[in-house]
Amino acid sequence: MSAASPPPADPRDGRHEETTDAHVTRVTREESAVAADCRFGVNYIPSKDWLYSWVDWDADSVRRDLEAIASLGLDHVRVQCLWPYFQPNRSFVSPVMLARLAELTDIAARCGLDVVVCVLNGWMSGTYFRPLWQGESVSVFTDADALEAERSLIAAVAGAVADRPNVLGIDVANEPNAMASFVGNDVTRAQGDAWVRTMLGHCDLVMPGGLHGVGVDHVPWLHDDGPFSRDVLATDGAVSTVHSWVYFTGALERYGVDGVGTHHLARYLVELARAYGTSRERPVWLQEIGVSSQWVPEADLPAFAASILTNALAARPWGITWWCSHDIDRALAGFDELEYDLGLLTVDNEVKPMGAAIAAVVAAYRRGEAGDDRPDGERPRLVVPAGQVPDLDFADRYFALVAAGEDPMVVVEGAAPVTAAAAGVSELVTD
């Protein structure tokens, strides 16, 4: 989560400004079929001592946390390995941390929870946890010794948990594009894409067939000034990932707390990630989504959270993983104020109203009462012109279609899914 990232300096209001660089066509629903069953989980933030709990280990506390998570009807957790703890030296991976990770995974299994392990975690909750061995002239993206260290850590983590049947795969890093903004980590787009491919290839080498991805935030999808390309993120590895935050994207200020663009942002990002893939069947994981009482009045949080989750389901993601499981204990100093109350559960494992609202949406979906309510027939197809950045200016068109009661599908001009669907086009609408 990009807690330190401000919203855009000059956000727009909710008006939909007309342009002439996009067009809408129609395509039958059958041509865009993706998996109907959605996985639901949380990013696990321990109730006791945040991620510092890796060094102040309390297995009983972890068990209570995971039992509480499972009681919400969730089926998986995304687990964060804080980099300085797991690899304090470039040539040393802590066996104690690996043993604790394995124990956490086993506890999760007993609670009926699957696990995805996020490994190279330097960027967490608005702080760069620089690896202790990384000097300011050492880039985590290009330095040969750093790359070897990263492969070593991924291999060690895989070796610790790969035999557990509840481990789904490896998430290379948490929002690694954010690390590129810190001293020493300058990287070109070509180098960034090479890093993604190298790390995902290594994940598949050490854990063949796993659900491996790289947990980028919204920036690579909505902007063109980051280290990774949309094409690589949407095709390499086993899953495309998106993080949807109404504040950090600027959507909340642009559209307002009740705006269509605010409530359907996650839906758009899932559709966007799918559009850049070479197959519409490729899984897209909404890996982070959440909301703070700093942005939405506390009394409105449950309804707001339920709305953004329900709307995200309309895009039929592989899974939705809420940020986060637990609040942060206010005895821990130094976090941005918004970080303290993002959880679905309190530090005492009590279910918050927002947690109850999320659990209700999950239960309704599994009863067949929420999520895939799109009518049979035709869907509007919103085409991203070649070379167009699909930012919020472009997204205005998507949200206008949603506001009109449509179920838009985003496709990229010239991409394989567009070409494959051409025969199904029955109507062309130009601006």
Cα angle 47, 321, 119 (rounded to 5 degrees) comes to 70
Question: For residue 280, is it within any domain?
Answer: yes
Query: pLDDT tier at 29 (50, 70, 90 boundaries)?
Result: very low
Percentages (nearest 5) of helix, strand, coil residues in the chain: 40, 15, 45
Report percent pLDDT > 90 for the chain.
80
Rounded-to-integer distance, Cα 93 and Cα 157, Å? 9
Round the average pLDDT of the chain to a whole number and report it. 89
State residue 327's pLDDT score. Answer: 98
At 411, phi and psi to the nearest 5?
Answer: -135, 160
Taking only Cα atoms into account, the Rg of the chain, rounded to an integer number of angstroms, comes to 21
pLDDT at 27 over 80: no
Q: List the domain range (segments joined by +) for residue 48.
A: 35-372
Rounded-to-integer distance, Cα 267 and Cα 403, Å? 13
Rounded-to-integer distance, Cα 33 and Cα 30, Å? 6
The larger pLDDT score, comparing residue 24 to residue 113, is at 113
Q: How many domains, in total, are found in the chain?
A: 1
Residue 327 maps to which CATH number? 3.20.20.80
**Which whole number is the average pLDDT over 395-402?**
98
Do the beta carbons of residue 195 and residue 216 sit within 8 Å?
A: no
**Which whole number is the average pLDDT over 219-229?**
95
Query: pLDDT tier at 414 (50, 70, 90 boundaries)?
Result: confident
Query: pLDDT tier at 379 (50, 70, 90 boundaries)?
Result: confident
Q: DSSP of 369-407, one letter per residue?
A: SSS--PPSSEEEEEEE-TT---SHHHHHHHHHHHHTT--
Question: For residue 30, is it within any domain?
Answer: no
State residue 237's pLDDT score. Answer: 97
Task: Quickly count: other Cβ atoms within 10 Å of residue 144's Cβ.
Answer: 8
State residue 17's pLDDT score. Answer: 35
SS3 41: strand
Q: Which of 256, 265, 260 is nearest to 290 (CA)?
A: 265
Rounded-to-integer distance, Cα 125 and Cα 260, Å? 27
Question: For residue 380, is it within any domain?
Answer: no
Question: For residue 423, is it within any domain?
Answer: no
Question: For residue 256, is it within any domain?
Answer: yes
Helix (H) or strand (E) segment spanning residue 24: strand 23-28
Question: For residue 326, is it within any domain?
Answer: yes
Report the predicted TM-score, pTM, of the whole model to 2 decimal places. 0.90
**Which whole number is the average pLDDT over 79-108?**
98
Question: For residue 429, is it within any domain?
Answer: no
387: Cα within 13 Å, side-chain hemisphere? 1
Question: For residue 9, is it within any domain?
Answer: no
The larger pLDDT score, comparing residue 250 to residue 371, is at 250
pLDDT at 116 over 60: yes
State residue 26's pLDDT score. Answer: 36
In 316-377, DSSP assigns E strands to 319-322
Rounded-to-integer distance, Cα 195 and Cα 189, Å? 10
